[in-house]
Amino acid sequence: MTNPLRDPQDLRLPRVAGPSAVVLFGVTGDLARKKIMPAIYDLANRGLLPPGFGLVGFARREWENEDFAQEVHDAVREHARTPFREEVWRQLSQGIRFVAGDLTDRSSFDLLRSTLDELDRARGTLGNHAFYLSIPPGLFPVVVQQIKATGLAERKPGAWRRVVIEKPFGHDLASAEDLDSVLADVFTPDEIFRIDHYLGKETVQNILAVRFANEMFEPLWNSNYVDNVQITQAEDIGIGGRAGYYDGIGAARDVIQNHLLQLLALTAMEEPLNFGPEQVRLEKEKLLAAVKVPDDIGQHTARGQYATGWQGGIPVRGYLEEDGIPPDSSTETFAAIRLDIDSRRWAGVPFYVRTGKRLGRRVTEVAVIFKKAPRLPFGEASVVDSADNALVFRIQPDEGITLRFGSKVPGSAAMEVRDVTMDFQYGDSFVDASPEAYERLILDVLLGDPPLFPGAREVDISWRILDPILDHWSTQGQPPPYASGGWGPASAYEMMSRDDRVWRRP
């Protein structure tokens, strides 16, 4: 049931979720503790959850409701964005329940069902249930089948049920399609919410605002003026305690298949007819379908594995020395790929995407790099020490936008031109701090608002882009090492110099 108090057309009004319960599978995982549970508290703290809200944890732990509530409490105290307020916590904790159970055990799901019934009665959650699968994807089919078998997915008049899944959505096109059919057996497309947390970031949504709410950028947004686009997601951390998840997945599946291809789609897509989910997805799908992988994959991609090195003055281990990583692992922790877009707008403009762990610093940005001025009229005495003009969406951590252009150095008699920047910083222009991506996305799930969730087709097309590259790499043995704290392997620089270009140093 949608919230009767909310006009879905008017997004300026506070969007408050209606009565509902979230069933969280995978409560002991990192994501649940660091992101999901804190985001639920932050929503409650911002007054965006109703009094009739429940959170049900499901795990193989001998916990009572109070034990799980304590876990949530600790996660909130440690990771919530907003201050801890006793009265908010008291209200939220009254709707917390725990089901000690096994994912493969039917009786555990019967227990879940009776717990939800009790919650509906005691807290007024009205039978509206979101099943949040923060678990390894290999377990999705069994959980979805259990939900079906226990009748938890049955449609009841006036109530909704939704399923939320976290990536990876498969590990290639074939497995992604298998996953689609597992989900489609139980849920309709509008009941399935695939989380790509990058789409929940304000700075990512702002790409579309800047492109389509202004008149001055869009005329330049094409191959007449743009030389290339560089999308970077760099992290200074290693894989930490995530060996089990990361090894065998690697940088391209972990980040490029989802976050970076979504950034690429938002940067390059045509203007949608409107901002409804169908139209936005349609434009993203069209764009992704036009993406071409270079014929000579070996020349236009690079991968690497971090080796020992120094980060912030501290010696760090290489990937192969990390706990839980087999010493002969060929999983890449750095990936860079050139992609082209087969459209009139983008013909001849390469899009470079790269991601890596243990790089120089944590930064995500989309840099649109413009062509050079066709001639310089300043005469021989001039000194033009200017790189290319660029518009850079600084996605994180220093959120904002930078415009870089050449400018006259004051005082010099001859025309001396150097690069300067104009910067927009969120903190300078807006009073409110941006919510965490998970706050926005969880609220959207509870409200049934799908625009920020990739559809099945987008996911499948993204795999179609990545599969040939992954197949090629799988024949190439171990990825070359790169020093921790640097900017990736030599092959990453070489692929750019083949195109007569260089990577931006973020």
**Least Å distance between CB 266 and ligand BG6?**
15
Q: Scan residues 79-118 and list those touching ligand BG6 (CB under 6 A).
A: none
Using the minimum distance from each CB to ligand BG6, give the nearer residue, 255 or 446: 255
Note whether 332 binds ligand BG6 by CB under 6 A. Answer: no
**Least Å distance between CB 310 and ligand BG6?**
20
Sort 111 into a burial class: Cβ within 10 Å, 0-12 / 13-18 / 19+. middle
**Least Å distance between CB 13 and ligand BG6?**
28
Using the minimum distance from each CB to ligand BG6, give the nearer residue, 235 or 332: 235
Note whether 262 binds ligand BG6 by CB under 6 A. Answer: no
Q: In 102-139, which residue ranges form alpha helices assigned H by DSSP?
A: 106-123
Note whether 254 binds ligand BG6 by CB under 6 A. Answer: yes
**Least Å distance between CB 255 and ligand BG6?**
6
Contact map string, positions 341 to 370, toward ligand BG6, x by CB under 6 A: -----------------------x------
Q: How far apart are CA 169 and CA 180, in angstroms?
A: 9
Tokens of 444: 């959207």
Residues taking part in catalysis: 259
Note whether 235 binds ligand BG6 by CB under 6 A. Answer: yes
Note whether 202 binds ligand BG6 by CB under 6 A. Answer: no
Note whether 439 binds ligand BG6 by CB under 6 A. Answer: no
Q: How far apart are CA 54 and CA 125, in angstroms?
A: 7
Stated length of the chain: 506
Note whether 434 binds ligand BG6 by CB under 6 A. Answer: no
Q: Helix 261-268 to helix 277-289 angle, to the nearest 10 degrees?
A: 100
| Minimal CB distance residue for ligand BG6 | 254
Note whether 331 binds ligand BG6 by CB under 6 A. Answer: no
Using the minimum distance from each CB to ligand BG6, give the nearer residue, 119 or 239: 239
> Which distant-in-sequence residues (6+ apart) come within 8 Å of 140 by Cβ?
133, 165, 179, 182, 183
Q: How far apart are CA 13 and CA 365, in angstroms?
A: 30
Classify the C-alpha dihedral 243-34-105-146 as positive or negative.
negative
Q: How far apart are CA 178 and CA 300, in angstroms?
A: 30
Using the minimum distance from each CB to ligand BG6, give the nearer residue, 115 or 311: 311
Tokens of 310: 């120094």
Note whether 436 binds ligand BG6 by CB under 6 A. Answer: no
Q: Yes or no: say if 280 and 455 are a contact pair by the CB < 8 Å rule.
A: no
> Site residues (CB under 6 A) for ligand BG6?
235, 254-255, 364
